[in-house]
Amino acid sequence: MSETNSAAETAAPHRYTAAMAADIEARWQDFWDAEGTYEAPNPTGDLAGDPELAAKPKKFIMDMFPYPSGAGLHVGHPLGYIATDVYARHQRMTGHNVLHTLGFDAFGLPAEQYAVQTGTHPRTSTESNMENMKVQLRRLGLGHDNRRSFATIEAEYYKWTQWIFLQIFNSWYDTEADRARPVAELVEQFESGERPTPDGREWNALSAAERADVLGEYRLAYASDAPVNWSPGLGTVLANEEVTADGRSERGNFPVFKAKLRQWNMRITAYADRLLNDLDGLDWPEAIKLQQRNWIGRSEGARVEFPVDTAVGITVFTTRQDTLFGATYMVLAPEHEMVERIIPAAWPEGTHPVWTGGHPSPAEAVTAYRKQAAAKSDVERQAEAKDKTGVFTGAYATNPVSGEKVPVFIADYVLMGYGTGAIMAVPAHDARDFAFARAFELPMRCVVQPSDDRGTDPSTWDDAFSSYDATLVNSSNDEISLDGLGVVEAKARITEWLTRHGVGEGTVNFRLRDWLFSRQRYWGEPFPIVYDEEGIAHPLPESMLPLELPEVEDYSPRTFDPEDASAQPETPLSRNADWVNVTLDLGDGPKKYRRETNTMPNWAGSCWYELRYLDPNNDRQLVDPQIEQYWMGPREGQPTGGVDLYVGGAEHAVLHLLYARFWSKVLHDLGHISSAEPFHKLYNQGMIQAFVYRDSRGIAVPAAEVEERDGAFHHDGEKVSRVLGKMGKSLKNAVTPDEICAEYGADTLRLYEMAMGPLDVSRPWDTRAVVGQYRLLQRLWRNVIDEETGEVTVVDAEPGEDTLRALHKAIDGVGQDLAGMRFNTAIAKITELNNHLTKAGGPLPRSVAEPLVLLIAPLAPHVAEELWRRLGHGDSVVHQDFPVADPAYVVDETVTCVVQIKGKVRARLEISPSITDEELEALALADEAVVAALGGAGIRKVIVRAPKLVNIVPA
Ligand code: ANZ
């Protein structure tokens, strides 16, 4: 028990205590549920008949929805939920129709792993976790429209996830129109001959399988045999994004191999430019925009073809075509298919022994090197610091501008998946090429004049000279000279030359890859796809949705020896033959089909959930267009529409946000929604951190049992160390909201979390500091209620001038702070006002007590409801108008300052009594009359006596 509940305090029978808070909070939570206080009307429902409501601006406020974990919530989790709740409450009180609710992102690996361990169905454990979290969340007094909540595992929800998959499957990207269109329209183009088939035959002459292959090249969702990240230890493939920098699975930390497997992909690359450009119109933290830009990775450069004697030319992608005269060798990715075609039978006469790696022939060298490269991840291969490895192919190509023969290598620092998988190496000006050239004793040529004093002989340099801000040298042939040009101009000039000679062209390259969309998992959305006997994929008709997850005996994907790259994945769904093999009538009579047995990745359910909140029970349409337009449509300042505020952790900078943006754009292109972006404003809250205490063995000890003595920390008689870290069960420092609610009440917890610091900054939890906010509520209570009798003490008297000033300054400041999400400073201002009132003593005038209650209502809604009711109001505080400050009381009192020049008064300034000397001096010197009186004369001296006098002595 805390000291706050000591006998002395409970002596006053009507004091605000934890017990009273518990009573108040439970009562008002029941009231809100019964009244539907937070239900937001839709434009087709109540809103249509209610002109007053229809005139209100809307606000759609969202949190990144939680995964229902078995561990439940600790106090760090609800930080963002409380913040959006406070914000939403303030928006309601300032005349907005607010939509705020919270669902659950409930498919995912933990439930499946738990099922594998315990034999509990993932649905059972997930649902019980959700029930537990709902109780915890309800205890916090979050004003959610519960009618709109759902979990992604509900068949009524994932029916539409599957439906969206079908829309994407049935679409292609028309690059001319720059939007997605139905595949049916593409088929029309092939049928009419408007668009030729790849081999020029008539569309009708193609077999069904050939047509499916052609269309597969266009579809926005397509199956392919591309190399994927296969983790035998996990038994599943992973998206690039789920693989760590050292080439292991983010979950489970297993090795990941590149394997060719038939998998579903989403052609997100078709949207690369739009995903990039539309970032400009979004109100997102710059850091997140930057991460998305880097992820998409747009590079402007050129493709350049280098002729090879033995075969067709090698095309490289370069962003520095201006340095072409300095390209002294080439590198292909080891897997590049050109390698076989260019290697000669034997090493050319006089080949440098370092180039051959000691292998007797190019073929043997290539085989050995490929094996070595395959064992590394892309990230490992790209690491800047690592020693450069590679081997000569025995072939030479020709530099198209210098005419020089340049050797062609294979090396793992060149990746197959980027650009053309081949580079021209310019060792003098690229760090990786420099390191490689040094290792293999390759020639270097300086073609960009170094701006330092290193000179133009690269053999004497310590590193490459790479700069965009420099001029070209050593770069001319009979037809073209780049010498003396800047990089930008040289790039333009050489690109034009290459294009004219048919050996290259300007091009744009993206780092973004298509999104691998298959998982070998049980606990996910089944694909609405079946295969016929020829193996052609067919979409299920809408009438067959939802395709429900079947029951299986065994939920686990088959896992293998983590190091066994040759293992083949086996999906849990494939074990249920009755479900897999079906006879269906897809419009041409009953036929036998085999279902797709992969499931969708965890990201699918969160790609469109904002839309479901709008129209949660719609079983005819994804979302009613009128409703979507109302809550999410484009409007002034929000050119692409979207949710008005989306709050969540910065760890979702790329994946979730990029995928959701992609789905929005497809749905927008196909005419299903008016918004082209899901989230207009994004805000990242900070983390609540906690102290971790460790004993001498480095083992975490329960934080709650640690005592502080003489500036040191002790546990069980032993000294322990303290560092700031994450909060969680494993670190034995988790504090649950339930504990804090029991000890102080939810309003105190809410205030404490909001008062800890600016919302976007991480902050350490300190249970001992929570009581400060509890005291604030006790003083607030005492200012309105007599602790002995329980009577309301307010009187109908006029407040004094200084109280009016304190009140209106608080109203003004708190209103602005809440609208700007500066909840900590809002609380500071309320505290200041409350202290002022406490100090003033005597009963509060009603005209002060009521706005005081309204000010704190968004932050501490339960106690505000209670006081509002006790002040004699019959309706909820939730929909009251937020107080408006009277400007007459907001401006500071001013004093008059005289400004003298040579002792003569030249100006009078109305200024704040608290102005500093520096501010006052600046103000005086900027005054028009003072400037005029000085007439351009210099100033020798300024004497400032803030706030009354400034004396200027001219030079
Ligand atoms: C010649 C050159 C000279 C280059 C120079 C750079 C500096 P970004 O900006 O990331 O697009 N490159 C191209 N394809 C590659 C691949 N598959 N694997 C590894 N590296 C590849 O990078 C483009 C640059 O990365 C290209 O421009 C190419 O090197 C290299 F002074 O070409 B550059």
Q: What is the pLDDT of residue 1?
A: 40
Distance in Å, CA 423 to ligand 1 centroid: 7
Ligand 1 proximal residues by C-beta, below 6 Å? 299, 317-320, 323, 333, 414-415, 418-419, 421, 423-424, 426, 429-430, 466, 509
Residue whose CA lies nearest to ligand 1 atom number 25: 318
Q: Long-range contacts: 198-204, Cβ < 8 Å, 24+?
A: none
What is the number of the ligand 1 atom nearest to the C-alpha of 426?
3
pLDDT range class, residue 385, cuts 50, 70, 90? low
Residue with tokens 């919270």: 102
Which of 293, 423, 474, 475, when mutated, tests ligand 1's pocket best, judged by the most ligand atoms within 8 Å of its CB?
423
- What residues contact 894, with CB distance under 8 A and at least 6 apart? 910, 911, 912, 913
- The residue ranking higher by pLDDT, 310 or 676, is 676
Distance in Å, CA 414 to ligand 1 centroid: 9
783: pLDDT strictly greater than 80: yes
What is the CB neighbour count within 10 angstroms for residue 352?
A: 12
Distance in Å, CA 191 to ligand 1 centroid: 41
CB of 393 closer than 8 Å to CB of 339: yes
pLDDT digits (tens, 9 = 90+) for 338-361: 999 999 999 999 999 999 999 999
Q: What is the pLDDT of residue 384?
A: 60
CA 865 → CA 19, 564, 874, distances in Å? Answer: 17, 63, 10
pLDDT digits (tens, 9 = 90+) for 905-921: 999 998 888 888 998 99
7: pLDDT strictly greater than 60: no
End-to-end C-alpha distance for the chain, whole angstroms = 72
DSSP letter string over 654-679? THHHHHHHHHHHHHHHTTS-S-S-SB
CB of 440 closer than 8 Å to CB of 351: no
941: pLDDT strictly greater than 50: yes
Q: What is the pLDDT of residue 601?
A: 94
Distance in Å, CA 8 to ligand 1 centroid: 74
CB of 221 closer than 8 Å to CB of 167: no
Residue whose CA lies nearest to ligand 1 atom number 11: 299
Residue with tokens 């008689």: 717
Residue whose CA lies nearest to ligand 1 atom number 8: 299
pLDDT digits (tens, 9 = 90+) for 837-847: 999 888 999 99
> Quick one: tokens of 448?
């960009």
Distance in Å, CA 955 to ligand 1 centroid: 62
Whole-model pTM over 0.85 = yes
What is the number of the ligand 1 atom nearest to the C-alpha of 466?
31
143: pLDDT strictly greater than 60: yes
CA 350 → CA 346, 347, 356, 394, distances in Å? Answer: 11, 8, 11, 11
What is the number of the ligand 1 atom nearest to the C-alpha of 421?
17
Cα separation, 635 vs 628, whole angstroms:
13
Which of 295, 315, 319, 445, when mutated, tests ligand 1's pocket best, judged by the most ligand atoms within 8 Å of its CB?
319
945: pLDDT strictly greater than 70: yes
Distance in Å, CA 753 to ligand 1 centroid: 48
- The residue ranking higher by pLDDT, 132 or 565, is 132
Residue whose CA lies nearest to ligand 1 atom number 7: 430
Distance in Å, CA 394 to ligand 1 centroid: 23
What is the number of the ligand 1 atom nearest to the C-alpha of 464?
31
Provide the β-strand partners of residue 173: 180
Q: What is the pLDDT of residue 115?
A: 83
Distance in Å, CA 417 to ligand 1 centroid: 13
Average pLDDT, the chain: 93
- What residues contact 400, with CB distance under 8 A and at least 6 apart? 304, 305, 306, 307, 324, 498, 501, 503, 504
Is 183 exposed, middle or buried, given 0-12, 13-18 or 19+ CB atoms closer than 10 A? middle
CA 858 from centroid of its chain's CA atoms: 27
Mean pLDDT, rounded, for 421-427:
97
Residue whose CA lies nearest to ligand 1 atom number 28: 318
Mean pLDDT, rounded, for 455-483:
95
Distance in Å, CA 529 to ligand 1 centroid: 40
Q: What is the pLDDT of residue 679?
A: 98
Q: What is the pLDDT of residue 44?
A: 79
Q: What is the pLDDT of residue 225?
A: 84
Q: Which domains does the chain have, with CATH numbers?
A: 173-283+515-595 (no CATH), 298-510 (3.90.740.10), 892-954 (3.10.20.590)
Cα separation, 888 vs 892, whole angstroms:
9
5: pLDDT strictly greater than 50: no
> Quick one: tokens of 325?
């005269």
pLDDT digits (tens, 9 = 90+) for 284-309: 999 999 999 999 999 999 999 999 98
- What residues contact 658, with CB distance under 8 A and at least 6 apart? 268, 275, 292, 295
Distance in Å, CA 426 to ligand 1 centroid: 10
Distance in Å, CA 317 to ligand 1 centroid: 7
Residue whose CA lies nearest to ligand 1 atom number 5: 430
What is the number of the ligand 1 atom nearest to the C-alpha of 333?
17
Please provide residue 213's backbone torsions phi and psi, each rounded to the nearest 5 degrees. -65, -45
Q: From start to end of 883-948, where are the E strands?
A: 895-901, 904-911, 939-945
Around 254, how many Cα atoms within 13 Å sit in the side-chain half-sphere?
21
Nearest to 521, CA basis, from 107, 7, 36: 107
> Quick one: tokens of 847?
């005209």
Distance in Å, CA 378 to ligand 1 centroid: 15
pLDDT digits (tens, 9 = 90+) for 651-660: 888 999 999 9
Residue whose CA lies nearest to ligand 1 atom number 26: 318
Which of 304, 318, 325, when mutated, tests ligand 1's pocket best, judged by the most ligand atoms within 8 Å of its CB?
318
Residue whose CA lies nearest to ligand 1 atom number 19: 414
pLDDT range class, residue 10, cuts 50, 70, 90? low
CB of 720 closer than 8 Å to CB of 713: yes
Cα separation, 448 vs 483, whole angstroms:
9
Nearest to 493, CA basis, from 504, 482, 505: 482
Is the N-terminal amide bond of 758 cis, ω within 30° of 0?
A: no
Which of 294, 304, 378, 418, when mutated, tests ligand 1's pocket best, judged by the most ligand atoms within 8 Å of its CB?
418
Give the chain's largest Cα–Cα span.
Answer: 107
CB of 814 closer than 8 Å to CB of 860: no
Distance in Å, CA 569 to ligand 1 centroid: 35
3-state secondary structure of 759: coil
Mean pLDDT, rounded, for 424-449:
97
| 529-531/645-648 β-pairing | unpaired
Q: What is the pLDDT of residue 493?
A: 97
Which of 320, 413, 491, 511, when mutated, tests ligand 1's pocket best, judged by the most ligand atoms within 8 Å of its CB?
320
Residue whose CA lies nearest to ligand 1 atom number 29: 318
pLDDT digits (tens, 9 = 90+) for 537-558: 999 999 999 999 998 888 877 8
What is the CB neighbour count within 10 angstroms for residue 730?
A: 10
What is the number of the ligand 1 atom nearest to the C-alpha of 417?
17
pLDDT digits (tens, 9 = 90+) for 567-606: 888 889 998 999 999 999 999 999 999 999 999 999 999 9
Distance in Å, CA 658 to ligand 1 centroid: 25
Distance in Å, CA 390 to ligand 1 centroid: 17
The one-letter amino acid at 903: G
Distance in Å, CA 164 to ligand 1 centroid: 37
Which of 314, 315, 410, 430, when mutated, tests ligand 1's pocket best, judged by the most ligand atoms within 8 Å of its CB?
430
DSSP at 141: T
Residue whose CA lies nearest to ligand 1 atom number 33: 318
> Quick one: tokens of 389?
């490895």
Distance in Å, CA 434 to ligand 1 centroid: 13
DSSP letter string over 362-379? HHHHHHHHHHHHHTS-HH
Cα separation, 523 vs 427, whole angstroms:
50
Nearest to 778, CA basis, from 7, 2, 10, 1: 10
3: pLDDT strictly greater than 80: no
Cα separation, 715 vs 694, whole angstroms:
9
Cα separation, 881 vs 154, whole angstroms:
38
- What residues contact 639, with CB distance under 8 A and at least 6 apart? 281
Distance in Å, CA 289 to ligand 1 centroid: 23
